[in-house]
Amino acid sequence: MKDHPAAITEINLAHEAEMPPLPMSIGTTLVNKTGTWRYFRPFYEDKTPPCNNACPAGEDIVGYLALLKEGRYEEAWRLLTQENPFPGVCGRVCPHPCESECNRIELGGAVAIHTLERFLAGEAAARKLSFVAAQRIDEEPVVVIGAGPAGLACAYHLALWGHPVTVYEAAAKPGGMMRLIPPYRLPAHVLDREIANIEALGVRILTGQRLGGNLSWGALQHYQAVFLAVGQSRSRKLGIAGEKAEGVLSGIDFLARIERGEAVRLGRRVAIIGGGNTAMDAARTARRSGAEVTILYRRSRKEMPAAEAEITEAEEEGIAIHYLTAPVKIWTENSRVKELECIKMALGEPDASGRPRPVPLPGSEHRIPVDTILPALGQEADLSFLDETIQIAQGQIATDSATVTSRQGVFAGGDVATGYGTVAHAIGSGKRAALAIHHYLRGESLESFPPLSQAVHRAQKSLSPTVVRLENLNQDRLTFSARPSQRRLDAQTRQQSFDEVNLPLDEFTVRFEAERCFSCGICNACDTCLIHCPDVAIKRDGLGRYRIDYDYCKGCNICAVECPRDAMSTEEESKWKE
């Protein structure tokens, strides 16, 4: 507003001499504080976006998409990695529950968050970005067992708080289950780089150290805090005759050997038992060696736990899938696998998992010739190293929601405590453990655990835990915008190489994709509230957002209704409350 003589707010007409002889204004209506009219006051209230809420690692997705949209890649990457140090990994292998919850689904398709996460990881690599080290607050190290996603995430967050951390890893290389993901899904250099970033913070990773082997449980006793993140290293058995024959190798072990560069003699025909992502990984890796690959799964496609894209890509690569088929017996010759006897199944009533129980169909037995059988039926934890001070429940280390075990100073997370089976959940679990350990070491009790969706570092900000759904948005202000399709290498090329299957999006498309984000629940300064206020009561706050001038706001609440993304709320004016 210009500083005009007319723009005065104080009017004193006590003296007749000051009055003009005609009805001419000498002041402004700013003297009239219309805020007293109000019954309901609107206010800015950021709420929880559904993607943030769904992310197992607690990423501030809406936050970093906003930065990415403006080309502020480094800031976006830093905001993302404030919660999750593995965007390159998660952007490729996470089942992206964020996208399943995205409110954009019905208006052109979910935002391709995972692709944008991957893009940011790539940008960070290209610019050689690294994490910023924190001031040491402690001299005593915290010990983490297992350099998988849970262990490394825990180490990372503790390091950011200034704790020294030592990670013991049984395998020759850190990474845990992430290391076993085939390179056509997760190139090794991506994983290596993100682990190296964590090490660069001062986290010590000591490989070849097996707890219960060359590293004793007793040796850990004098550490002030221990985080057990050993995962589920034992593969479930088939439980059928012939299992111990030559040519039967668990899917996990197969992938581990391939990762180590060992030659594995597969023969011509390979059968994979199982329907999860490990089964797909094993099948597609085997396929790339030129074998004929068949997957046997005892339920139908609908019940297959593997990601839909994985299944489709496997089929495109010439892998046969036999549904409703279960192995019954392994026939050998010279102690080597020769044939696999199978039986067809039918779907019956739901079992404990909620899925239809497979029921064998008598008389449907048949044999298929095989050279190698790779069972991928899931993993279990090897807890033989523990003593009785650590309670176990259903084959997992028992913990409360804050990863605290039955023993003071010992925390557990990742698959060994939750059995959840995804990288993202393990990362979230590791972060939770870091929070618990950090408070424990400071002698503070963790009264209430902030929801992970609010992100550990954002817990101080006031963010309503209300999750924003499509019906909360002002759909009059949203438009249809199509999601770009995922480009992949063609199936022919894929069968002959371990090159990454999913191709990245170009930068232009990435920036556009970030614009498709509605920013559910989070104000992104779109100016809608500002321009629609009939009383000019919404002003810029100088910090990129807005403030309501309650001296004048009449409480029409047009701003709250028009806000496209439900970043405002309304409450009854306190003077009218009982």
Partner 1 sequence: MSTDLVRPRESVKPETIPEEEYMFSGHAACPGCGGALAMRHALKALGEKTIVVIPASCWSIIAGAFPSNALQVPLMHTAFATGGAAAAGISAALQMQGDTETTVLTWAGDGGTFDIGIQALSGAAERNEDFIYACYDNEAYMNTGIQRSSATPWGAWTTTTPVSKFKQEPKKDIVGIMVAHRIPYAATASVAYLEDLVYKFRKAKSIRGTKFIHILAPCPPGWKSEPSQSIKIARLAVQSKVFPLYEVEKGEKYTVNVWPEKPRPVREYLQLQGRFRHLSAVDLETIQHNVDCAWEELVKKAKESGTC
Partner 2 sequence: MERVIMGNHAASYGAQLARAQVIAAYPITPQTQIIEMLSEFCADGRLNAKFITVESEHSAMAATIGAATAGARTFTATSSHGLALMHEMLHWAAGARLPIVMAEVNRAMGPGWSIWTDQNDSLSQRDTGWMQVYCESNQEVLDSVIQGYKIAETVLLPLMIVIDAFVLSHTSEAVDIPDIATVDRFLPPRKAQYKLDVTTPHAFGGLVTPSHYMEMRYKMQKAMEEALGVMEDVDREFQQIFGRSYGLLEEYRMDDAEVVLVTSGTITSTAREVIDSLREEGQRIGLLKMRVFRPFPTERARNALACAQKIAVIDRNISFGQGGIFAQEVRSALYDAGTRTPLFNFIVGLGGRDVTPTSLRNIATFIFEHETPPEDIIWWEVNK
Residues that bind partner 1 (CB under 8 A): 1-2, 4, 6-7, 11, 13, 19-20, 23-34, 37-38, 69, 476-479, 481, 484, 506, 508-509, 512, 515-516, 518, 525-527, 531-537, 549, 551-552, 554-558, 560-562, 564
Give least dist CB 2 to partner 2, A: 10
Binding-site partner at residue 515 among partner 2, partner 1, none, CB < 5 to 8 Å by type: partner 1
* C-alpha dihedral sign at 441, 442, 445, 449: negative
DSSP for residue 178: G
Binding-site partner at residue 534 among partner 1, partner 2, none, CB < 5 to 8 Å by type: partner 1
Question: Do 575 and 35 meet the contact criterion of CB atoms below 8 Å apart?
Answer: no
* Burial 548-571, CB ≥16 within 10 A → b, else e: bebebbbbbbbbbebbbbbbbbee
Of 13 and 359, CB closest to partner 1: 13
The identity of residue 367, as a single letter, is R
Give least dist CB 18 to partner 2, A: 11
Decide: is 4 part of the binding site for partner 2 (CB under 8 A).
yes
Binding-site partner at residue 508 among partner 1, partner 2, none, CB < 5 to 8 Å by type: partner 1
Binding-site partner at residue 21 among partner 2, partner 1, none, CB < 5 to 8 Å by type: partner 2
Decide: is 239 part of the binding site for partner 2 (CB under 8 A).
no
Burial of 534 (0-12, 13-18, 19+ CB in 10 A): exposed
Q: How many alpha carbons lie under 13 Å from residue 16 in its C-beta half-sphere?
A: 1
Q: How many alpha carbons lie under 13 Å from residue 411 in its C-beta half-sphere?
A: 32
Q: State how far Cα 468 lies from the chain centre.
A: 18
Of 17 and 132, CB closest to partner 2: 17
The count of chain residues that interact with partner 2, using the rule CB under 8 A, is 13
DSSP string, 477-494: G----PPPPPPB--HHHH
Give least dist CB 330 to partner 1, A: 49
Of 22 and 482, CB closest to partner 2: 22
CA-closest candidate to residue 397, choices 389, 385, 387, 405: 405
Give least dist CB 15 to partner 2, A: 11
Decide: is 200 part of the binding site for partner 2 (CB under 8 A).
no
Binding-site partner at residue 16 among partner 2, partner 1, none, CB < 5 to 8 Å by type: partner 2
Give least dist CB 311 to partner 1, A: 26
Decide: is 531 part of the binding site for partner 2 (CB under 8 A).
no
Give least dist CB 6 to partner 1, A: 6
Give least dist CB 203 to partner 1, A: 39
Of 301 and 547, CB closest to partner 1: 547
Of 6 and 482, CB closest to partner 2: 6
Name 206's bridge partners: 168
Place of tokens 């009219």: 37
Binding-site partner at residue 276 among partner 1, partner 2, none, CB < 5 to 8 Å by type: none
Give least dist CB 19 to partner 2, A: 6
Residues 13-32 that bind partner 2 (CB under 8 A): 13, 16, 19-26
Burial of 5 (0-12, 13-18, 19+ CB in 10 A): exposed
Of 23 and 362, CB closest to partner 2: 23
The set of long-range contacts for 524-532, using a CB threshold of 8 Å and a minimum separation of 24, is 524/66, 524/565, 524/567, 526/564, 526/565, 528/477, 528/559, 528/562, 528/563, 528/564, 529/559, 529/560, 529/562, 529/563, 529/568, 532/558, 532/559, 532/562
Residues 250-309 that bind partner 2 (CB under 8 A): none
Of 18 and 400, CB closest to partner 2: 18
Name 331's bridge partners: 339
Give least dist CB 535 to partner 2, A: 18
Give least dist CB 521 to partner 1, A: 14
Of 229 and 563, CB closest to partner 1: 563
Of 196 and 531, CB closest to partner 1: 531
Binding-site partner at residue 126 among partner 2, partner 1, none, CB < 5 to 8 Å by type: none
Cα distances (angstroms) measured from residue 131 to each of 348, 540, 547: 52, 33, 34
Length of the chain counted residue by residue: 578
Give least dist CB 524 to partner 1, A: 9
At 318, list the tokens. 């010439």
Of 4 and 222, CB closest to partner 2: 4
Of 116 and 381, CB closest to partner 1: 116
Question: Residue 277: in which H helix or E strand, if any?
Answer: helix 277-287
Question: Residue 515: in which H helix or E strand, if any?
Answer: helix 507-515
Decide: is 12 part of the binding site for partner 2 (CB under 8 A).
no
Question: Do 204 and 152 meet the contact criterion of CB atoms below 8 Å apart?
Answer: no
**β-pair type (165-168, 204-206):** parallel
Three-state SS letters, 321-353: EECCEEEEEEEEECCEEEEEEEEEEEEEEECCC
Binding site for partner 2 (CB under 8 A): 4-6, 13, 16, 19-26
